[in-house]
Structure 1
Amino acid sequence: MQAAQLMKYDKHFKLVVHDIPKPVPHDHEVLVQVKVAAVNPLEHLIGTGSVKLIQNYPMPLTMGNELAGIVTAVGSQVQQFQVGDAIYSRLPLTKIGAFAEYVAIDENAVALKPKNLDFAHSAAVALTGLTAYQGFTEELAAQPGQSVMIPGGSGSFGQLAIPIAKALGLNVMVSGNARGQANAAAMGVSQYFNYKKENYWEALAPVDYVIDTIGKRELAHELSVLKPGGRLLSLRIGPNRRFAQQHQLSAFKTLLFSMAGASFDRQAKKAGVQYHFIFVRSDGAQLAKITRIVEQANITPAIDPTEFTLEQVNEALALVATGHPQGKVLIKF
């Protein structure tokens, strides 16, 4: 079978398409014929070696973290799935490989795809949906009736984060472009700030939580709108001591992350709040809950209209890194 592989960490990495053996599923794995794989900024973090302190891979590495496909074989101990099931998955961090014709996945990382979505749109849900769900329920421990602000929430993250937050009983505020306002309103946001016309930090009442999708340049504004004791969860800025301790990393890595995140923690402490960073993991049970939310709210995530094949994987990566995709970038098999 064909697979797109990383040969070494490199700032300007390119993937190479190789013929490799078709995997054989272990006892608790399902073999999936990949229909669509999604391309994420995470691929660039992995390829450049930016996250090797969190997860270091042996080379060559078949890349890709997110897919939708059909189960073609099951391991001897698999109980949740059978041949022919249409599934989707955020692959386990220790065993990625969505950029391939077939992949063996632990059944606990898999869920039946939403009935209202085709394979392409399903492939665009798993990683983003799990990021939002784990962010709200674990990192923020958000409770019904509390409030969350998502700067930059009119993009692909917000398309899933907003309905998931609403399903958990949260009040949601978002900033974004004019194009995203109607869609956000339809999903039930309490307030929408057009960033070209107004600054949310000048008009927003203090909130319980902020989810950062923008990065360091927005940190001061995000901290300023939090209630005392609130939490800021970043998808972009970087890990800190809390992250290292939560993931039980080595003393050396904990020291490194403590130093790297010291300025973020210092700014958060000065504001009387907590700084958190998330690196989403696979979880089939949580994905099944997301499936129900997607079906009940009839969510259709945006996907970029450009179609890529596996041979064009580097072009797809470039669009994610340097272009302005109109949604999740996909590789179709």
Structure 2
Amino acid sequence: MKALKITRYGDINTSLAFGEASVPIPGTGEVLIRIHAASINPIDLMVMRGDMKAVKKLDLPVGIGRDLSGVVVSVGGGVTAYQPGDEVFARVGEDHVGTLSHFLSVDASHLARKPKNLTHEEAASIPLVSLTSYQALIQVAGLKKGERVLIHAGSGGIGSVAVQLAKAYGAYVITTTSSANVEWVRELGADQVIDYKKENYLDLLSDIDVVYDTLGGQYTLDAFKVLKRGGRVVSISGVLDPQTAREFGIGWLLRKLLRLKARSVMKAAKEKTALYRMVIMEANGSQLEELGSLCRDNIISPVIDKIYPFEQSLEALSYLETGRAKGKVIVSMGESANA
């Protein structure tokens, strides 16, 4: 089979290469999937560049890609929930990364049944973004019906699903986007859309219950300027908070350095008696099954910008890197795809 692998840290053109690989044999608790479609995400680019080396250094070469939709080929020992022929989708665990390939063995506990009303390309767009937003907004922030939530970058891969998810849980959703996407994001369900090219959300908002920080940097600190006292800031791009660092087993020396980096954010949280957490998404098949039911009921709809054939995976990653994608970028393993 063919697989795209990271051969060295660096940029897209120098770090990635297609190669032949053996079809894996599923071990105990694993399922072998024939991949029909995969989606790519910013974390794939971050790992390729070496941005995550401080947390986990790769033993190169390694696969790339974390989202998939496909069909079960065979199952390993102890697996009873799935059988050959089942259509499934997943955000695979970090020990099974490599969805830009024709076959992959996956931990069975990370799988969920593909919603029948979705194509494989649509299903592949859902796992990482929906799990990330579910774990941030529902699991960590405890978003409640009627609360006001600010979601940055509502037209992006994460934001477009987060807007729909927050609405599904009854929140009043405020989001930011560019002029070209204002009406489109409103159609996704946002109650208030702020055109960042014309307006400054800091001038318009106050007493927000939950801020979902998808951008990091100054946006993380600015979240506390619009947050109500006792509110919650959950971030997927900001600084790592001490609790999350401990939970993920980061060594004490690195935790000490991270604590210094997070000092200004933690101070801002303390001044507002607010919660701040950096959310590192974990693969979770049972949560994905719940999110899949929202897709089956058309409460959450896939948002896809472009679909590329497997052979054009580098072009797909280059497009993702531009930051202009309106929704998700998909790689199809079929013979043809629209790029």
Q: TM-score range by the shorter chain?
A: over 0.9
Q: Counterpart of 2:337?
A: none
Residues in 2 aligned to 1:79 and 1:53: alpha-carbon distance in whole angstroms? 38
Residues in 2 aligned to 1:75 and 1:57: alpha-carbon distance in whole angstroms? 26
Does residue 15 of structure 1 match 2:16?
yes
CA contact (8 A) 1:240 1:259 kept: no
CA contact (8 A) 1:14 1:314 kept: no
Q: Counterpart of 2:332?
A: 332
Residues in 2 aligned to 1:34 and 1:127: alpha-carbon distance in whole angstroms? 16
Residue 316 of structure 1: SS of its match in structure 2?
A: helix
Q: RMSD of aligned C-alpha atoms?
A: 2.0
Q: Counterpart of 1:90?
A: 91
Q: How does 1:115-264 map to 2 (within 5 A)?
A: 115-264=116-265
Following TM superposition, by how much is the alpha carbon of 1:298 offset from its aligned partner in structure 2, in angstroms? 4.8
Cα offsets for 1:118-153 (capped at 9, x unmatched): 011111110000001001122212233322111222
Q: Counterpart of 1:318?
A: 318
Residue 305 of structure 1: SS of its match in structure 2?
A: strand
Residue 180 of structure 1: SS of its match in structure 2?
A: helix
2:315 alignment partner AA: E
Q: Counterpart of 1:111?
A: 112
2:54 alignment partner AA: L
Farther-moved stretch of structure 1 (254-263 vs 107-116): 254-263
Farther-moved stretch of structure 1 (152-161 vs 274-283): 152-161
Residue 313 of structure 2: SS of its match in structure 1?
A: helix
Farther-moved stretch of structure 1 (122-131 vs 111-120): 111-120
TM-score by length of 1: 0.92
Following TM superposition, by how much is the alpha carbon of 1:220 offset from its aligned partner in structure 2, in angstroms? 4.0
Task: Summarize the Cα distance change of 1:144–1:298 in structure 2 as closer, same or farther, 3 Å threshold.
Answer: closer
Following TM superposition, by how much is the alpha carbon of 1:170 offset from its aligned partner in structure 2, in angstroms? 2.2
Following TM superposition, by how much is the alpha carbon of 1:113 offset from its aligned partner in structure 2, in angstroms? 1.3
Following TM superposition, by how much is the alpha carbon of 1:62 offset from its aligned partner in structure 2, in angstroms? 1.2
Cα offsets for 1:259-285 (capped at 9, x unmatched): 232232233334442322122110000
2:19 alignment partner AA: H
2:328 alignment partner AA: K
TM-score by length of 2: 0.90
Residues in 2 aligned to 1:250 and 1:196: alpha-carbon distance in whole angstroms? 42
Following TM superposition, by how much is the alpha carbon of 1:302 offset from its aligned partner in structure 2, in angstroms? 2.4
Following TM superposition, by how much is the alpha carbon of 1:25 offset from its aligned partner in structure 2, in angstroms? 0.6
Following TM superposition, by how much is the alpha carbon of 1:23 offset from its aligned partner in structure 2, in angstroms? 0.3
Following TM superposition, by how much is the alpha carbon of 1:306 offset from its aligned partner in structure 2, in angstroms? 4.9
Q: How does 1:1-80 map to 2 (within 5 A)?
A: 1-10=1-10, 13-80=14-81
Cα offsets for 1:149-168 (capped at 9, x unmatched): 11222322222112221222
Residue 143 of structure 1: SS of its match in structure 2?
A: coil
Residue 308 of structure 2: SS of its match in structure 1?
A: coil
How many positions carry a matched residue from both structures?
332
2:252 alignment partner AA: A
Task: Summarize the Cα distance change of 1:299–1:183 in structure 2 as closer, same or farther, 3 Å threshold.
Answer: farther
Farther-moved stretch of structure 1 (191-200 vs 285-294): 191-200
Following TM superposition, by how much is the alpha carbon of 1:235 offset from its aligned partner in structure 2, in angstroms? 1.8
Residue 153 of structure 2: SS of its match in structure 1?
A: coil
CA contact (8 A) 2:212 2:235 kept: yes
CA contact (8 A) 1:64 1:96 kept: yes
Following TM superposition, by how much is the alpha carbon of 1:50 offset from its aligned partner in structure 2, in angstroms? 1.3
1:92 alignment partner AA: G
Listed as ranges, the gaps of 5+ residues in structure 2 are 334-339
Cα offsets for 1:241-262 (capped at 9, x unmatched): 2320232322123223212322
Farther-moved stretch of structure 1 (264-273 vs 120-129): 264-273
Residues in 1 aligned to 2:186 and 2:313: alpha-carbon distance in whole angstroms? 35
Residue identity over aligned pairs, in percent, reads 29
Residue 94 of structure 2: SS of its match in structure 1?
A: coil
Task: Summarize the Cα distance change of 1:246–1:130 in structure 2 as closer, same or farther, 3 Å threshold.
Answer: same
Residues in 1 aligned to 2:34 and 2:18: alpha-carbon distance in whole angstroms? 17
CA contact (8 A) 2:31 2:108 kept: yes
Farther-moved stretch of structure 1 (90-99 vs 9-18): 9-18
Residues in 1 aligned to 2:146 and 2:72: alpha-carbon distance in whole angstroms? 40
Q: How does 1:265-284 map to 2 (within 5 A)?
A: 265-284=266-285
1:231 alignment partner AA: R
Following TM superposition, by how much is the alpha carbon of 1:87 offset from its aligned partner in structure 2, in angstroms? 1.0
Farther-moved stretch of structure 1 (266-275 vs 97-106): 266-275
